């Protein structure tokens, strides 16, 4: 029913279960954050062989077209946040909304700039 004047509803406090990350997940997250902090503000110059460099939603195959979310043009400058090395390539997550290949083959697509540049 209804409440008469002066009565109060009483609610039981329900606590959501706390889900703690595994040690491995925590370690990976902390390593990623350290990497991001170490690279904070590090700038890279886009160098290409074709005039552009694809931006991918995730690192992997630099020739994949199904995860391209943008393009960088020759001479543009991006700010890098995280690097990820693979078997054949190294990738950089940057401020243009995704990942681009930094090293592939014998070519350096994203070259770090000194603070004086």
Adjacent-strand bridge partners of 93: 82, 99
Distance separating alpha carbons of residues 40 and 34, to the nearest angstrom: 10
pLDDT, tens digit only, all 117 positions of the chain: 566 676 776 767 777 778 888 999 889 888 887 776 666 678 999 999 889 999 999 999 999 999 999 999 999 999 998 899 988 899 999 999 999 999 998 999 999 997 554
Residue 31 structure tokens: 């390593």
> pTM for the complete prediction?
0.65
Q: So what's the pLDDT on residue 115?
A: 59
Q: Strands of the chain (E only): list them.
A: 42-46, 52-56, 68-73, 77-85, 89-94, 98-104, 107-108, 110-112
Q: In the chain, what is the straight-line distance between the N-terminal and C-terminal CA atoms, in Å?
A: 74
Other C-beta atoms closer than 10 Å to the C-beta of 20 total 7
- Identify the pLDDT of residue 109: 96
């Amino acid at each position: 029913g209804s409440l008469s004047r002066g009565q109060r509803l009483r609610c039981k406090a329900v606590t959501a279960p706390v889900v703690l990350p595994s040690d491995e997940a925590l370690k990976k997250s902390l390593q990623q954050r350290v990497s991001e902090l170490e690279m904070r503000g590090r700038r890279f110059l886009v160098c290409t062989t074709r005039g552009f460099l694809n931006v991918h939603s995730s690192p992997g195959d630099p020739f994949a077209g199904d995860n391209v979310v943008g393009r960088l043009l020759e001479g543009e400058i991006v700010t890098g946040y995280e690097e990820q090395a693979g078997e054949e390539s190294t990738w950089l997550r940057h401020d243009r909304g995704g990942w681009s290949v930094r090293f592939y083959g014998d070519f350096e697509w994203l070259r770090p700039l000194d603070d004086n540049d």
